Amino acid sequence: MSSWSLVCFVILEIFIIVDGAKILLYTPSVSPSHIVMSGRMADVLVEAGHDVVLFIPEYDASVTMNGTKLAKVWRMNNISDAFMKGMEEVGGTLFTKPYGDPSDRIIFEEVVGDMCEAIMDRHKELDVLRNYGFDVVFTEMIDLCGLGIMRFLGIKNHIWHSTTPLHDNVAYNLGVPSPVSYVSTTEENLLGPVMSFTERAYNMYMYLVTLRLHHYGTDKATEAIRKYAGPSFPSVRQIASESTIAFVNSDEFLDPARPILHKTIYVGGLGIQEAKQIEEPFASLVQKGKKGVILFSLGTLVPTSLLDETVKKEIVELFSEFEDYQFIIKVDSDDEAFIKLAANVKNIKTTSWMPQSDILGSPRIKLFIMHGGYNSLLETSIRGVPVIVIPLFADQFKNAKTIEYRGLGVIIEKLNLNKQTLKEAMIQVLENDRYKKAALRISHLIKNKPFKPHEVFLRWTNFVVENGLLPELTPEGSQLSFIEYFCLDVIFIILSIPLILIYVTGYFIRRIYFATVKVKRE
């Protein structure tokens, strides 16, 4: 680099730093995948010249990663054990029930409400954030406590981000239409866009239950913050409705088409780079297998130790029969049973970690057997790899139906996971090239669409930094009550009028009838 180029580079860096905004990202450590997404966002912003702080309230103490390589990180540790206790209670039934039920969700809302109150109990420690002078704050959709805390700290310019497809609570608070006839609810619901009558009825039930639980949880968050901010502090749902924009970790060509608003912006794939060269020992592994390599992973949140021993044995037996394929299985480091079962099988390699995104970029990867987490779903879609999805909880059911709807793979329900069902699914995907063709098409569309997530994310963030709140993008629907939004009052009146007319008509007919009978008798 010439001396003049070096001078220009330094000057450019100075201007970038001067022009950069102070940005705060609030993301509780509920799971590694959430931290990963926030970390990717933070790094993109830092590379663009912004001063970024990633604030991580510790919910799950085992999630020690920060996700970011470039941003400043502040962790609030030892807040409360409420979240861990609640998740242990829910996790105990993960492989005994087909879906989570409202009682599980109530537990979740209870514990995040408790965590919100525990953070506010230490609100004096948050003054360091108040005094930093942030221009804008990003908060996750996982719960609305972060929204309230940021308003409590005086940061009014807010951007929401969803680590999954558009969640029902985000859509509801923003006023985004969610027709239950073809937009399935996000959590614990194995339904896609095409539904029968009974499925539409169930989807409506799930939608109403979801909103009721959301109101329950957000009321707890509001109460926790009002304890210190005073009774006049607005509801966190009201604050949510005023959010400037909402970034959604989804892709228009992957997610089934649905109504959105101008302020809902898809950035799925943000931070997922071109696959890098694979290093050892994985570089040698992906070269094994006459017909290629198959990956198996249940993600970062659910330990493989929760799988029944019989299921583990059947998985290993099945994979050993596919001798022409090399299998890489991600297991917990302390899952000795799974590791021991696979130890003597020549075409199986177990590992507690793998560079998943880079491995998926290898042309030798023929299939990914996965849990349906959205980060993994985006990675495999961008790489053009067909999948078998075993959804376990939350949005993974919806994600699995997305895979099925787009023709990228097949679903195995978790309680139906055994040697036979997995074998049938593997044969179906491996021997029918329509899945690979569909995966390659989605990959092509995502990679070649006119606007890349990196570009959209930065341009909109800079726009918000420059212009502040954007009430012009806020629909009136976000300010309406449940009854007003769904016109239940109008429907009631419309239905009441004919009923009243029928009643009045019947009343007079009855009076006339009895009057006539009385005259005849006289």
Highest mean pLDDT among 13-27, 102-116, 143-157, 419-433: 419-433
Listed residue (313, 296, 223, 25) closest to 142, CA to CA: 25
Question: Tokens 């997610």 correspond to what residue?
Answer: 255
- What distance in Å separates the CA atoms of residue 295 and residue 452, rounded to the nearest whole number? 28
Tell whether the model's pLDDT for residue 518 goes beyond 70: no
pTM: 0.85
Listed residue (161, 153, 212) closest to 185, CA to CA: 212
Does residue 5 belong to any structural domain of this protein? no
Task: Return the CA Rg of the chain.
Answer: 27
* Shared-domain flag, residues 266 and 117: yes
- Please answer whether residues 74 and 44 qualify as being in contact, where contact means their C-beta atoms are separated by less than 8 angstroms: no
Q: Domain range spanning residue 194? A: 16-271+454-478
pLDDT at 152: 94
**What's the pLDDT band for 89 if we cut at 50, 70, 90?**
confident
- Please answer whether residues 270 and 453 qualify as being in contact, where contact means their C-beta atoms are separated by less than 8 angstroms: yes
Span 451-478, average pLDDT:
88
- What distance in Å separates the CA atoms of residue 246 and residue 476, rounded to the nearest whole number? 17
Handedness of CA 480, 216, 396, 201 (dihedral sign): negative
- What distance in Å separates the CA atoms of residue 50 and residue 138, rounded to the nearest whole number? 13
CATH number at residue 465: 3.40.50.2000
Does residue 6 belong to any structural domain of this protein? no
- What distance in Å separates the CA atoms of residue 254 and residue 441, rounded to the nearest whole number? 10
Structural domains of the chain, count: 3
Q: In the 8-state DSSP scheme, what is residue 406? A: T
pLDDT digit string, tens, across residues 284-301: 999 999 999 999 998 877
* Shared-domain flag, residues 251 and 344: no
pLDDT at 297: 93
Does residue 4 belong to any structural domain of this protein? no
* Shared-domain flag, residues 234 and 339: no
pLDDT digit string, tens, across residues 12-64: 343 344 368 999 999 999 888 889 889 999 999 999 999 999 999 999 888 88
* Shared-domain flag, residues 474 and 507: no
Dihedral angle of Cα 302, 306, 309, 313, to the nearest 10 degrees:
0
Number of residues that make up the chain: 522
Listed residue (321, 343, 433, 164) closest to 329, CA to CA: 343
pLDDT digit string, tens, across residues 174-213: 889 899 999 999 888 899 999 999 999 999 999 999 989 9
- What distance in Å separates the CA atoms of residue 82 and residue 79, rounded to the nearest whole number? 9
Say which residues have a Cβ less than 8 Å from residue 410's Cβ, sequence separation at least 6. Answer: 388, 389, 403, 404, 425, 428, 429, 435
- Please answer whether residues 267 and 248 qualify as being in contact, where contact means their C-beta atoms are separated by less than 8 angstroms: yes
